[in-house]
Every structure is written in C-alpha cells, then in structure tokens.
Structure 1
Amino acid sequence: MTIHTRNKPKSAWTMTALLTGLAMINFLDKIVLGMIAVPLTAELHLSPAEFGLVAGSFFWLFSVSTVVVGFLANRFPARWILLVMAASWAVLQLPQAFASSAAGLLVCRVVLGAAEGPSFPVSVHAIFKWFPDRERNLPVAIINQGAAMGLILAGVGIPLITRQWGWRANFFLLAAVGVVWCALWLCFGREGTLDNAPRLAPADTGASGSLRQPYLKLLTERSVLCVFLLCFSAYWLLGQSLTWLPTWFEKGLGFDGVTSGRCFALVILVGALANIGLSGLSQRMLNGGASSRQARVHLTCVMMIAGALLMFAIAAIELPAGAKLALYAVGGALPMVCLSIAPALLAEMVPTAQRASMVAINTAVASLGAAMGPVVMGRIVQVHGSGNSHAYEIGIAMCAILMTCAALVALSWLHPARAQHTLNRPAQSVAA
C-alpha cells in the first residue's frame, strides 16, 4: 500500500481550523465558571476559598488523564481520540447545569477536567502530522487563538446569557456547541501523514525520527525540564486569569457585570493579537536563519520577563482602574506566547515516536500550575477581602515572581540544539 506523504496545505489548514474550534469549546468550558462566579457563589452560598477550590478542581485529574491519553496518542489515531473527548465534554455540561451544591459542582468539574485535559497535547500532536518543524509555531498559535476566541465569546456572551436566562443556561448552550463540533469533525477530520515521510534532515524534522529513548533520559534532560517550568508558570497565570479576572474587575476594580465581561474580552483580544504576532515573528526568525534558541527560547523568556514587570507595576504603583486593566492586558498577553512555542521546542528535541506522550507530560506538569494558581488567589482574597483590589494584586505579583524565575532558569539552561544532539544518541527500544 502506498502512503501519501506529500504535505497538503489546504487539508493542513482545514485541520487547523477544526482544531481551533475545538480549542474554543475547551476554553469556553474552562472560563464559564469564572464568568458566572458572582451569581453562582451567591446562589450556592460559596466563600471565596470554596469557590477557588471548586475552580481549581478542574485540574485535579487533568494531569493524570493528559499523560494517559498522550501515551495512547503515540499508538492510536488522534482523529478518534479527539472525537471521543469532544463528545464527552458535551455530555458533561448537563450535570453542571443541574448542580445544587458545591460538592456536586466540584465532582462535575473534576470529571470534566479529566475529559478535557488531553485536548491540547493531542491537538498539537495531530497538527504536527501536517506541518514540518520550521512551520509549526504559527498553526499552534492559531489553535491557541481558538482559546482566545472562546474567552472573548465568554466575556461578551456569558454575562448577557446569565442576565437573560440565569447562569445555568450557559451549560446547555455549551452542550449544543459541542455536538455541532463533533458532527463537523466526523465529516472533515482527517489523520495527517507527515510523520510517515522520509526523514531527510534533522533541521527539517526537528527530532530523531522513530528512534525511541528511555523516558528517564527524556525527563531528566534539563532543556526539557526548562520547558516544563516555563509552561508551569504560564499555566499558573492562565488558571488565575480564567478563574479570578472577571471577579477582580467586578469586585476589585468596581466594574458592573457586563462591563467586566467586556473588559475580560478586551484582555483576551490583546493576548490573541500578541500571541499571533510573536509566534509569527519567531517563525520568521527561524526561516531567516536564526537558531531555535534565539527564535524560540530567547523570545519566550524576554516576553515572559517583560510581562512580569508590567504585572509587578499593578501591585506596586497606585493607578486608576483603567490603567490597571491596560497593564494587565499587555502584561498577561506577552508570556502566553510560551504556550505556542513550547510544543514546537519539545517536538524539536524529542523522538517523533514519543512526541505525543512528551507534549502530554508537559501539559500535565504545567496544568498543576493552573490548579494551584486559583487556590492560592482564593486564599489571599479570603484573607484580605473580595472587595479589596489589593488582594488580587498580591496574587498577580506572586505569579509575576514565578514567571521571572522560570524565564531566568530557561535563559541559562534551555539549549534545544544541544538537547537534540543528546537525545539523538542511540538507545535500546523502549515502550511507548
């Protein structure tokens, strides 16, 4: 049987569009709880600490399921794995719509988190079957903008839906959207074949073909660990923003519910534009002859430190609400390029046959940051009061410190070319 390995740009971008839609649904599911926090906590009588616990519970099994499904994606078609996941998300919206207690909602969020955890690494693995190494930054950034689209839609739409029909109506709508995506995926979703193409040169493939390495060797390579640390800090920021940003705007900065949603959408829009622009810049640098360390590592770390400095300013300087909003919009946007570039870095360094599992492990480790961030912020708000803007700003400053430390470590130790050479040495065949 002949395997067609020639890259098909039209099909590749069709897959990118479908996976962007999946990311949009994924982040609508994530953000909905933060967007309905005020009416939900009032109806279910939740304290800030309890709400932070419920919100963070989404990530309790996120890591475990991400790793398990990542290993499965090494061996089974990503097309069917993604379909099963998306269908389960749609079904799991319904019990959330009928939740009547913190415990019931917590269970729903834990199960949904387990179902949604593998989405990003499996999507990345699927799209990497359509694009070679030097063309991967941009499609991953576009898929990430599905997340931004979801967050913008949430910021604009969820407050209006909640005001018109109540907070529970959002979950019914999310279930319907999930069903529509599954139908489109069944019609148009395909499996890429680029991984089956002959490996002409390491610079084009970015990894060691199908040669497997012991996972202990992969997971103790310091460049790989640096990628994990960068993503952990970026996910901390992401989890904190998804859970607490609307509440900070409403209770801390004094905006009303609808205005808070629009401000949230504005923050996400700035982040989306920054992510696409910076990812495109990184790709142009690569195609212009820059090394991966220059185009990917240095760019990511500089953006992360710049964002952290802007976030420090929010807590350190007395500013009006509009200025704080502007600083957070830019400061929170710059570090997010990490989430587009990190998968390409890992794919560049690790064997292709173990790419899905390594991207999944990275997502699993990083998602611990998203689980911890909301809880830490909840504790801080509990102590200082939910109506005190300074309480939220303390949490923002803590996140900035974490990102600065991660970037400095990566600037010192993250060397993709060196790691590729180390991980390309012959090793005995190991299990997937």
Structure 2
Amino acid sequence: MQKEQSSKKTNKRYGILAMVFLTVVINYLDRSNISVAAFALSEDLDLSSVQMGFIFSAFAWTYAILQIPGGFMADKIKTRVLYSVIMALWSIATLVQGMANSFGSLLGLRATIGIFEAPSYPTNNVIVTRWFPEKERASAIAIYTSGQFLGLAFLTPVLTAIQSYLGWRGLFYVSGAIGLVWAVLWYVLYRDPKEHSTMNQEEIDYIAEGGGLIDGVSDTDKKEQVEKFSWSDLREVFSYRKLWGLYIGQFCLGTIIIFFLTWFPTYLVKYRGLDFLESGFLASIPFLAAFFGVLLSGFTSDFLIKRGYTVEIARKLPIICGMLLSTAIIGANYTDDTFLVILFLSIAFFGNGLASIAWVFISLMAPKKLIGLTGGAFNFIGGLSGIVVPVIIGYLVKDGDFKPALFFIGAIALLGFISYTFIVGKVERIVPRSKN
C-alpha cells in the first residue's frame, strides 16, 4: 500500500503500543480474577488449600506447554486475526467460569484459558519488534508490560467491589464480557506497519533503519524470511547458554509474579487476618510499586543506551538490581505490622517490575527468523513457574504457616540474580550455527 509522503514522520506506533497495553491489562485481568474470587470460591465449593493450589496452577499447565506452538503461531498468523480470535476464546472461558460448581470444572476452565492466552506474549513481542526501532524497544516493552501491574493495581479494588455486590460468579461474568468487547475492537483497529493506512513512509523508514523488523525480518535480510517449522529450529532455541540464562531468569521472575497473581489476596485475608474489602485496596499497593518499577526500568535502560553505555550495563543493570530487591519479600516473615508487611511486599514487587523488561533480550538476542519461537521458549520456561509454584505454596502452607512459602519465593529471586549475572553473558544477536 502506498503511504502518504510528508516531511515529518507520523507516530502511529504509539497508538499501537496503547492497544497492546490495554490488551495486557485484559489478559492479566482474566488470569488474576481467580485470586480475588479464591477465598469466597473455596468456601462456597469447600476446596482445600492444596486443591486451590492446583486450580491456581491449572492455567499454567496449558499456557506453558503451548508457549512454543504459540510462538510459532505468532510468527505465522497475521497478528490482527490471531489476537482477535484467541482473546475472544479466552474471554468466553473466563465468563463460563462463573457457572463452575466443582473442583474439576474450575480446573478445566482455568486450563482452557491457558490454552488461548498462550500466544499472547510472543505476539506482543512480535508487535513491538515490528513497530519499534531498537533504541525505543525497552521503553515500549516496559510500557505494555506495566499494563499487567497498573491494571491490577486499579482493578483489584474494583474487582473486590464487584465480587462484594455480584458474588464471585458475577466477577467472572463481568471479566469475560470486557474481553469479548475488546476482541472485536482489536480486529477493527489493528494493522501491521505496512498495512496501516494513516502511517507515512517516513515512520516506516525510521522504524526499519533503527532495526525494527517491519516485515518480520530486517530490510537487509529479506532472503531469511520465516520458513516452515522444523525440529532443527526448536533445537536451535535451546542450544545456547545465554538463552538458557534468560529462560532460567524468566522462571524466577515468573515465580514472584505468580505469587501475587494467585495466593496474595488469600495471604492477606486468611493468613494476615485482613478484612476482604480492605485487602483489595492494600493489595493494589504492591502492583503500583511494580508498575513504577517496570517504567523506571524501561526508560532508564533506553536512556543509558542513548547516553552511550554498553548494552550489558543498560539492559542488565535494572534486571539484576530488581531480582536482588525481590528477595525483600522474606522480610514480611519478621513482622506482624500490616504496614511493614505491605512495605516488604511492595519492595519485592517493585524489584520484580524492574526485572520485567527481560523480553527486550529476546528482541535483541534471538535469531532473526526465530524471534517468535524463541519468545515461546522463553515464556514456556517462565510459564513452568505457574505450574509448580502455586502447588508448592499450597503444600507449604497447608499447616497454616505462610513463612516457608515466602522463604521459597525469596530463594528463587536470588537464583534469578545469579542467572542474569553469570549465565546470560554478552548481549548480542545470535547467528544460528549453520550460518556461521
């Protein structure tokens, strides 16, 4: 399509980024509403802490397993179509949760949501890689990633209020309906860069010259267009130590997020004795801290790049500092003061926010023709935390003491620091060995 010519480039990429941001908000709304509903739901259906652990983890069973196929889909299927379809399907599954009446039905529906959300983050990364030059990419990733924190910070009290008035079933009905509306709007509004009718050639050139892969690959590498899937591609994305450093780091990052998305409200109400509505407002504070953490991380990282600092310093420093700060979650074990409990948890989640720009490494290091697949592998390993962590916590707290669970989360955060510091190595684009 011929683009309009002008002396000043358009900035349509920011509108696309806003759409991705809203999609992430809805994505995490449908992942985390179970945590708000958990206390009332478990009492209504007479579910134990171990059973709730399995329900919390059921989403991640399918979500993690399907990350690699999801990454392949992100590379192959038009983003406009893929996102609209999967969003509509996971929203329907969310809505149907309101009709669940047993452990088995909830387990199945949570797993179903995981199936349809699986391609979402690989798709987000493909969108940003196509729409943004490298020097703006960490900020872009930080902005859309912040949606998971800002959305939950403001929506957690709202979701708590909805449940108070409509019950936990009504909470799922409202959540699902929101996603269905946005799925339709996404299909109407989204276009890839070269299909965007109001985007001019100057902006396309700006993105492409800055390393944006507007065709899925750079303009200088069009001969490496994405080919059909092969098992050698899958072996490729698991063949490099530095990629394994990223994968392990993502597992550790996911462990902290999973706690806040699943057990956190139950921790405040059942193990800290807070009022349910009060817990909704207090639970929003760590999410706000994480929101500021991820924005600070992204903009600081891009600022350091523009000031001439090395990629290792600019991209790694926020993540390494963030993983260290996340170990502060252990401090909540040593106080009964609600203010200090929320403070320690907020520091930990702020650190998690700092480390949440890790997706930038996939944009910078993945083989060019395997960005989606590498992102799928990255999120697959990260998603494994969602399978094992809620269940482990369920067993650790079954005797009524939550302290072992917080020690466990802090230890995993320390492992993430070690992985990013000593395993990732130099940040550079990987050239497949067959190309060397």
Fold conserved (TM > 0.5)?
yes
Aligned to 2:198: none
Given the superposition, is the C-alpha separation of residues 306 and 5 from structure 1 closer, same or farther in structure 2, using an over 3 Å criterion? farther
User: Which segment is superposed worse, 80-89 or 42-51?
Assistant: 80-89
User: Which segment is superposed worse, 142-151 or 231-240?
Assistant: 142-151
- Cα deviation digits, residues 23-44 of structure 1 (max 9, x gap): 1111111111110111100110
Instruction: Work out whether residues 244 and 374 of structure 1, in 8 Å CA contact, stay in contact via their aligned partners in 2.
Output: yes
Aligned to 2:243: 224
Aligned with 1:166: secondary structure? helix
Aligned with 2:61: secondary structure? coil
Given the superposition, is the C-alpha separation of residues 319 and 129 from structure 1 closer, same or farther in structure 2, using an over 3 Å criterion? same
Aligned with 1:277: secondary structure? helix
Given the superposition, is the C-alpha separation of residues 175 and 217 from structure 1 closer, same or farther in structure 2, using an over 3 Å criterion? closer
Identify unmatched segments of 5+ residues in structure 2.
Answer: 195-202, 227-231
Given the superposition, is the C-alpha separation of residues 8 and 99 from structure 1 closer, same or farther in structure 2, using an over 3 Å criterion? farther
Aligned to 1:46: 47
How far apart are residue 348 of structure 1 and its match?
Answer: 0.8
How far apart are residue 5 of structure 1 and its match?
Answer: 12
Given the superposition, is the C-alpha separation of residues 47 and 4 from structure 1 closer, same or farther in structure 2, using an over 3 Å criterion? farther
State the AA in 2 paired with 1:301: I
Given the superposition, is the C-alpha separation of residues 292 and 209 from structure 1 closer, same or farther in structure 2, using an over 3 Å criterion? farther
Aligned to 1:334: 351
Aligned to 1:170: 171
May I ask how many residue pairs the two structures share in their alignment? 417
Identify unmatched segments of 5+ residues in structure 1.
Answer: 386-390
Aligned to 2:35: 34
Tell whether 2:407 aligns with 1:397.
yes
Indicate which of 395, 414, 417 corresponds to 2:424.
Answer: 414
Given the superposition, is the C-alpha separation of residues 4 and 84 from structure 1 closer, same or farther in structure 2, using an over 3 Å criterion? farther
Aligned to 1:388: none
Indicate which of 283, 292, 300 corresponds to 2:319.
Answer: 300
Cα distance between partner residues in 1 of 2:249 and 2:221 = 26
Given the superposition, is the C-alpha separation of residues 149 and 203 from structure 1 closer, same or farther in structure 2, using an over 3 Å criterion? closer
How far apart are residue 238 of structure 1 and its match?
Answer: 0.8
Aligned to 2:306: 287
Given the superposition, is the C-alpha separation of residues 292 and 16 from structure 1 closer, same or farther in structure 2, using an over 3 Å criterion? same
Cα distance between partner residues in 2 of 1:209 and 1:326 = 49
Aligned to 2:87: 86
How far apart are residue 394 of structure 1 and its match?
Answer: 1.8
Aligned to 2:114: 113
Aligned with 2:192: secondary structure? coil
Instruction: Work out whether residues 293 and 416 of structure 1, in 8 Å CA contact, stay in contact via their aligned partners in 2.
Output: yes
Cα distance between partner residues in 2 of 1:237 and 1:5 = 48
How far apart are residue 180 of structure 1 and its match?
Answer: 1.9
Aligned to 1:22: 23
Aligned to 2:390: 374
Cα distance between partner residues in 2 of 1:301 and 1:174 = 35
State the AA in 1 paired with 2:113: L
State the AA in 2 paired with 1:128: T
User: Which segment is superposed worse, 44-53 or 193-202?
Assistant: 193-202
How far apart are residue 128 of structure 1 and its match?
Answer: 1.7
Cα distance between partner residues in 2 of 1:120 and 1:304 = 21
Cα distance between partner residues in 2 of 1:153 and 1:264 = 10
How far apart are residue 151 of structure 1 and its match?
Answer: 1.2
How far apart are residue 136 of structure 1 and its match?
Answer: 0.6
Aligned to 1:358: 374
Given the superposition, is the C-alpha separation of residues 318 and 92 from structure 1 closer, same or farther in structure 2, using an over 3 Å criterion? closer
Given the superposition, is the C-alpha separation of residues 197 and 4 from structure 1 closer, same or farther in structure 2, using an over 3 Å criterion? farther
Q: Percent identity, aligned pairs only?
A: 20
Instruction: Work out whether residues 252 and 412 of structure 2, in 8 Å CA contact, stay in contact via their aligned partners in 1.
Output: yes
How far apart are residue 197 of structure 1 and its match?
Answer: 8.7
Given the superposition, is the C-alpha separation of residues 135 and 204 from structure 1 closer, same or farther in structure 2, using an over 3 Å criterion? farther
RMSD: 2.7
Aligned to 2:199: none
Aligned to 2:282: 263
Aligned to 1:423: 431
Given the superposition, is the C-alpha separation of residues 150 and 319 from structure 1 closer, same or farther in structure 2, using an over 3 Å criterion? same
How far apart are residue 69 of structure 1 and its match?
Answer: 2.2
Cα distance between partner residues in 1 of 2:208 and 2:183 = 34
- Cα deviation digits, residues 259-309 of structure 1 (max 9, x gap): 11111111111110111112111110111111111111132112211221x
How far apart are residue 138 of structure 1 and its match?
Answer: 1.2
Q: Normalization by structure 2: what TM-score?
A: 0.88
Cα distance between partner residues in 2 of 1:257 and 1:278 = 32
State the AA in 2 paired with 1:360: G
State the AA in 2 paired with 1:364: F
Aligned 1:120-159 pairs, distance under 5 A: 120-159=121-160
How far apart are residue 90 of structure 1 and its match?
Answer: 2.0
How far apart are residue 187 of structure 1 and its match?
Answer: 2.5
Instruction: Work out whether residues 234 and 336 of structure 1, in 8 Å CA contact, stay in contact via their aligned partners in 2.
Output: no
Instruction: Work out whether residues 297 and 414 of structure 1, in 8 Å CA contact, stay in contact via their aligned partners in 2.
Output: no
State the AA in 1 paired with 2:389: G
Tell whether 2:319 aligns with 1:311.
no
How far apart are residue 200 of structure 1 and its match?
Answer: 5.7
- Cα deviation digits, residues 211-230 of structure 1 (max 9, x gap): 48844343221111111111
Given the superposition, is the C-alpha separation of residues 60 and 229 from structure 1 closer, same or farther in structure 2, using an over 3 Å criterion? same
Given the superposition, is the C-alpha separation of residues 409 and 165 from structure 1 closer, same or farther in structure 2, using an over 3 Å criterion? closer
Cα distance between partner residues in 1 of 2:213 and 2:13 = 17
Given the superposition, is the C-alpha separation of residues 175 and 198 from structure 1 closer, same or farther in structure 2, using an over 3 Å criterion? closer
Cα distance between partner residues in 2 of 1:91 and 1:264 = 27
Cα distance between partner residues in 1 of 2:242 and 2:39 = 42
State the AA in 1 paired with 2:182: W
Aligned to 1:320: 337
